[in-house]
Structure 1
Amino acid sequence: MYELFVLGELMTGEKHGYMLQEILKNAGGPFRQISSGTLYPLLSRMVENGWIHLIMEEVPASKRPRKIYQITETGRIRFLELMEKPLEYGADTTELFHYKMVYFRYVPKSVRLDCLNQYLKYLETNLKHVGDFESELMFYKPEPEQQRTQLLRVLDHRKRIGSADIEWVSAEIERLVSEPE
């Protein structure tokens, strides 16, 4: 996921490592931060793979040179491969979808539609699961009643969020389909 982020950010232009880390911190929100110990080894691997190029920026003798990263042609190909890769359903699906969506302008319409449709399927599957679980609770009425009642409130919350997400993604698909190539 972070590989896609770095390549996507470098599609917009060259950046130094600190700037990439700051952008990623903001993109991930206040509870998902990336450490230097994660980012810089990733950048080194990406340089080794030939996906990005490292330029050492000249600075006064008293300062350390800044490392500037730029995407290579091989990196552009890797970026497209990652954007075309189907969403894997798991704990990070929504975050990965959001990262992909940020970089939609760099991929063909068909890739954007595939990603949106995959995410829609993910949302619909989640909503069905919640509905099925709710039906089980209503049928079997497990004890204690207070806990069951609170669990039903949680499921109602999840259904409302899921329905809103489905509505938004469906509208986004319609908008994109009607957009000229």
Structure 2
Amino acid sequence: MYEIFVLGELTVGDRHGYILQEILKSALGPFRQISAGTLYPLLSRLVEDGFIELRPESGSSGSRPRKLYAITESGRIRFRQLMEAPLEFQADTEILFQFKTVYFRYVSKEARLACMEQYLTYAQYKLKHVTDREFQLHMQRPEPEKQRAQLLRVLDYRKQIGAAEIEWVKQEIERMKAAAD
């Protein structure tokens, strides 16, 4: 998941590792952070795999030269492969989808629409899970009643969020279809 972010950011332009970390922290939000212990091994692996290169920054002053990461041509190919890969239904699907949407301008309209359609299926699957659970609670009527009632309220909240998400994705799909490529 972070690989697509790093390659996407380097497609935009060369970056220092700490800048990548700050952008990623901002993208993930206040409650999910990435540590240097996660990011820098990923950067090292991407360098070893030839997807990015590390080079000293020209004109840097001080005792230690600053290093820049830059994407290579094989990194651009890998990035397009990741962008065009189908979304899998897993814990990080929503974050991966958000990362992909940020970099949509680097892939074809067909790839963008495929991603949106896949995410629509994912969002519909999540909503079905919630409505199935709600149905079970109505049928089984577990005790205590107050707890069941509150759980139904939580499920209603999740249904409202899910329905709004599905509506947004459908609108984006229609917008993309209508837009010139």
5+ long unaligned stretches in structure 1: none
Cα drift, residue 163 of structure 1: 0.2
Write the letter of the residue equivalent to 2:39: L
Partner of 1:78: 78
Partner of 1:25: 25
Q: Distance in 2 between matches of 1:83 and 1:96?
A: 10
Q: Distance in 2 between matches of 1:45 and 1:140?
A: 51
Cα drift, residue 36 of structure 1: 1.0
Deviation digits for residues 20-49 of structure 1, max 9, x if unmatched?
Answer: 011001001111111111111111110111
Q: Distance in 2 between matches of 1:44 and 1:139?
A: 53
Partner of 1:166: 166
Give the match's secondary structure for 2:13.
Answer: coil
Give the match's secondary structure for 2:55.
Answer: strand
Cα drift, residue 113 of structure 1: 0.5
Partner of 1:94: 94
Partner of 2:148: 148
Q: Hey, which bits of structure 1, 4+ residues long, moved more than 6 A? A: none
Partner of 1:49: 49
Q: Distance in 2 between matches of 1:63 and 1:35?
A: 25
CA RMSD of aligned residues (A): 0.9
TM-score (norm 1): 0.97
Write the letter of the residue equivalent to 2:30: P
Partner of 1:38: 38
Partner of 2:65: 65
Deviation digits for residues 100-145 of structure 1, max 9, x if unmatched?
Answer: 0000000000110011001100010111111111111111211110
Write the letter of the residue equivalent to 1:51: F
Cα drift, residue 63 of structure 1: 2.4
TM-score (norm 2): 0.97
Write the letter of the residue equivalent to 1:166: I
Structure 1 stretch displaced more, 95-104 or 35-44: 35-44
Q: Distance in 2 between matches of 1:161 and 1:63?
A: 52
Partner of 1:9: 9
Partner of 1:108: 108
Q: Distance in 2 between matches of 1:35 and 1:72?
A: 24
Corresponding pairs, count: 180
Partner of 2:129: 129
Partner of 2:175: 175
Write the letter of the residue equivalent to 1:164: A
Percent identical: 63
Q: Distance in 2 between matches of 1:136 and 1:146?
A: 16
